[in-house]
């Protein structure tokens, strides 16, 4: 497939699972398309007095297993097809970790790096005003994704509450803790991924204290770098990158020092004692564990043959194309697929919703324990399917997830 449209990729991945599961045509049709999608304009008063019109999206992909849930991405390349793909993956993600939610996603085409805090707040509130009537903890609830933050979630929750005229903390997750955020949400995505790596290392007899590299040094990537050492008891981080390029240190670097350097300078580049490396070179390093934690389509048929890691733990959504998946599988690389590897975020978002609905909040230890249980079970469900059907890990994850959603669709009598 030369096509890198993420929604076409998501549909191709689904089609393969549907074929193996022998789903009937109507079931395939309902599961390969979003149930509802919204595309709208958001006028925002800019600091210079002009009005700029942004394009916003919300896709509610499937709600057979529960209300839809999924993050909001603010990115210049955001399109309806990216949102559809991410919403489909959210559907499979909530299903693979077996939480009672469906999948959705949303976003705005914009470059947040060019917006002031005031403009971001007006954009967040404007997005919410257009779509508030279609949201709610029993319908659809957003969360953060690329370039959206707890502060943006707080403004959106506030706007929703103004419209609803009452307190509504569970409408949105990833909020700051004083506004009903959950303990442990900040690092949950990466933590879940590290739990899956821990399980994979045990099964495959790989030493987690070997080398690792992280592509994309944002929320998911930074916490993956830190928690790899904390949870797995060591490991040598030899390369990291962000949108401006990467750095390499043969003897390994201290993840905390890189996080601080990125905070101070806004980039990972120029870290003292490091050599520059491109994002492409980073992916092809000979490391034990690779964490693609940036954006889609970075491992393709062009570079898959050069990938050398033992485990690729996909913190990012959609980093590997279907053709590359086959090549990695043939090379014996153990891929922990995105919607399993990064399901920790939505799992703790679900915990946040539960806590907000009860108005009773858990301790950090409670959150970690419940997250570990959910993710560990999900990893083993997928691994067993991978062995039983002799398919690669992504297809195995699809088989587990799609079968559960199809069962809910059937029980509801939709098909
Ligand atoms: P983020 O905005 O915190 O960070 C994104 C990082 O990627 C930044 O460091 C940026 O510089 C870097 N980046 C952007 N373009 C790049 C490029 N072309 N090459 C290399 N690096 C690049 O975003 P995040 O929340 O960490 O999300 C990263 C990935 O993880 C996305 O695919 C997202 O969908 C996925 N994810 C995140 C969460 C979450 O809870 N944060 C949950 C599930 C999945």
pLDDT in tens, 357-408: 999 999 999 999 999 999 999 999 999 999 999 999 999 999 999 999 999 9
**Same domain as 334, residue 213:** yes
Q: Is residue 372 part of a domain?
A: no
Q: Convert the pLDDT of each residue in 177-225 to its tens digit.
A: 999 999 999 999 999 999 999 999 999 999 999 999 999 999 899 999 9
Which residue among 308, 324, 341 closes a domain? 341
Q: Is residue 210 part of a domain?
A: yes
**Same domain as 284, residue 210:** yes
**Same domain as 329, residue 195:** yes
Q: Convert the pLDDT of each residue in 107-142 to its tens digit.
A: 999 999 999 999 999 999 999 999 999 999 999 999
Ligand 1 mean position, distance from CA 338 (Å): 12
pLDDT band for position 326 (50/70/90)? Answer: very high
> CB of 158 closer than 6 A to ligand 1?
no
**Same domain as 55, residue 152:** yes
Distance, CA of 343 to CA of 351 (rounded, Å): 13
Pocket test for ligand 1, best of 173, 295, 299 (most atoms within 8 A of CB): 295
Residue of the CA atom closest to atom 43 of ligand 1: 342
Ligand 1 mean position, distance from CA 22 (Å): 35
Distance, CA of 407 to CA of 387 (rounded, Å): 22
> CB of 189 closer than 6 A to ligand 1?
yes
Q: Is residue 362 part of a domain?
A: no
Q: Is residue 103 part of a domain?
A: yes
Residue of the CA atom closest to atom 35 of ligand 1: 316
Q: Kindly tell me if the per-residue pLDDT of 99 is higher than 90.
A: yes
Which residue among 320, 341, 362 closes a domain? 341
Residue of the CA atom closest to atom 27 of ligand 1: 146
Which residue among 179, 212, 243 closes a domain? 179
> CB of 316 closer than 6 A to ligand 1?
yes
Q: Which atom of ligand 1 is nearest to the CA of 174?
A: 40
Identify the pLDDT of residue 268: 97
> CB of 277 closer than 6 A to ligand 1?
no
Residues ≥6 apart with Cβ < 8 Å to 153 = 142, 143, 144, 172, 173, 174, 175, 176
Pocket test for ligand 1, best of 243, 265, 338, 339 (most atoms within 8 A of CB): 243
Q: Is residue 11 part of a domain?
A: no
Q: Kindly tell me if the per-residue pLDDT of 247 is higher than 90.
A: yes
**Same domain as 195, residue 152:** no
The DSSP result for 255-266, as a single string, is HHHHHHHHHHHS
**Same domain as 159, residue 195:** no
**Same domain as 72, residue 143:** yes
**Same domain as 306, residue 228:** yes
Pocket test for ligand 1, best of 72, 86, 216, 314 (most atoms within 8 A of CB): 216
C-alpha distances out from residue 167 to 108, 225, 234, 270, Å: 26, 37, 44, 46
**Same domain as 171, residue 72:** yes
Ligand 1 mean position, distance from CA 199 (Å): 24
pLDDT band for position 176 (50/70/90)? Answer: very high
- Nearest residue to 190 (alpha-carbon basis) of 292, 283, 90, 288: 292
> CB of 145 closer than 6 A to ligand 1?
yes
Q: Is residue 107 part of a domain?
A: yes
**Same domain as 202, residue 163:** no
| Arithmetic mean of pLDDT over the chain | 96
> CB of 314 closer than 6 A to ligand 1?
no
Task: Please give the tally of structural domains in the chain.
Answer: 2
- Considering 8, 39, 69, 105, which one is annotated as catalytic? 105
Q: Is residue 51 part of a domain?
A: yes
> CB of 347 closer than 6 A to ligand 1?
no
Q: Is 299 left (phi over 0), alpha (psi -120 to 50) or beta?
A: beta
Q: What is the mean pLDDT of residues 133-158?
A: 96
**Same domain as 228, residue 106:** no
Q: Tell me the CATH number at 228.
A: 3.40.50.720
Range of the domain at 99: 36-179
**Same domain as 203, residue 153:** no
Ligand 1 mean position, distance from CA 245 (Å): 14
Identify the pLDDT of residue 3: 64
Q: What is the mean pLDDT of residues 27-48?
A: 98
- Show contacts of 20-26: CB within 8 Å, 24+ apart: 20/389, 20/391, 20/395, 20/399, 21/399, 21/402, 21/403, 21/406, 23/402, 23/406, 24/415, 26/415
Identify the pLDDT of residue 2: 44
Identify the pLDDT of residue 104: 98
236 is catalytic: no
Residue of the CA atom closest to atom 22 of ligand 1: 243
Identify the pLDDT of residue 211: 97
Q: Is residue 172 part of a domain?
A: yes
Q: Kindly tell me if the per-residue pLDDT of 1 is higher than 70.
A: no
Distance, CA of 141 to CA of 6 (rounded, Å): 22
Ligand 1 mean position, distance from CA 221 (Å): 7
Q: Kindly tell me if the per-residue pLDDT of 279 is higher than 60.
A: yes
């Amino acid at each position: 497939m030369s096509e890198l449209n993420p929604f076409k990729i998501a549909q191709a991945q689904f089609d393969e699972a549907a074929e193996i599961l022998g789903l009937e045509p109507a079931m395939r049709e309902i599961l390969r398309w979003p149930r509802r999608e919204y595309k709208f304009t958001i006028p925002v008063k800019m600091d210079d007095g002009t009005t700029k019109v942004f394009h916003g999206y919300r896709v509610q992909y499937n709600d057979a297993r529960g209300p839809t849930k999924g993050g909001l991405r603010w990115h210049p390349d955001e399109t309806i097809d990216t949102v559809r793909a991410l919403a489909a993956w959210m559907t499979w993600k909530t299903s693979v970790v077996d939480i009672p939610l469906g999948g959705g996603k949303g976003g705005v085409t914009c470059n947040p790096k060019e917006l002031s805090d005031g403009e971001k707040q007006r954009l967040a509130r404007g997005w919410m005003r257009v779509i508030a009537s279609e949201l709610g903890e029993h319908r659809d609830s957003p969360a953060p994704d690329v370039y959206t933050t707890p502060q943006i979630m707080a403004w959106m929750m506030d706007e929703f509450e103004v419209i609803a005229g009452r307190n509504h903390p569970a409408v949105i997750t990833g909020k700051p803790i004083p506004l009903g955020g959950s303990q442990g949400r900040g690092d949950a995505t990466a933590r879940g991924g590290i739990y899956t790596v821990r399980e994979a290392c045990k099964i495959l007899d790989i030493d987690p204290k070997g080398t690792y590299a992280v592509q994309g040094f944002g929320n998911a990537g930074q916490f993956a770098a830190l928690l790899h050492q904390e949870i797995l008891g060591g490991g040598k981080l030899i390369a990291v990158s962000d949108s401006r390029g990467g750095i390499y240190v043969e003897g390994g670097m201290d993840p905390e020092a890189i996080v601080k350097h990125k905070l101070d300078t806004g980039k990972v580049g120029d870290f003292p004692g490091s050599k520059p490396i491109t994002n492409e070179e980073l992916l092809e390093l000979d490391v034990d564990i690779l964490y693609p934690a940036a954006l889609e389509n970075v491992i393709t048929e062009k570079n898959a043959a050069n990938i050398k890691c033992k485990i690729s733990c996909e913190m990012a959504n959609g980093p590997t194309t279907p053709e590359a998946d086959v090549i990695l599988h043939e090379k014996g690389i153990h891929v922990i697929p995105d919607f399993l590897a990064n399901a920790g975020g939505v799992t703790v978002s679900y915990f946040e919703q539960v806590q907000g609905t009860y108005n009773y909040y858990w301790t950090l230890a409670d959150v970690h324990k419940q997250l570990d249980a959910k993710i560990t079970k999900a990893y083993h469900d997928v691994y067993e399917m991978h062995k039983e059907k002799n398919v690669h890990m992504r297809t195995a994850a699809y088989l587990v997830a799609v079968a559960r959603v199809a069962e809910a669709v059937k029980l509801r009598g939709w098909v």
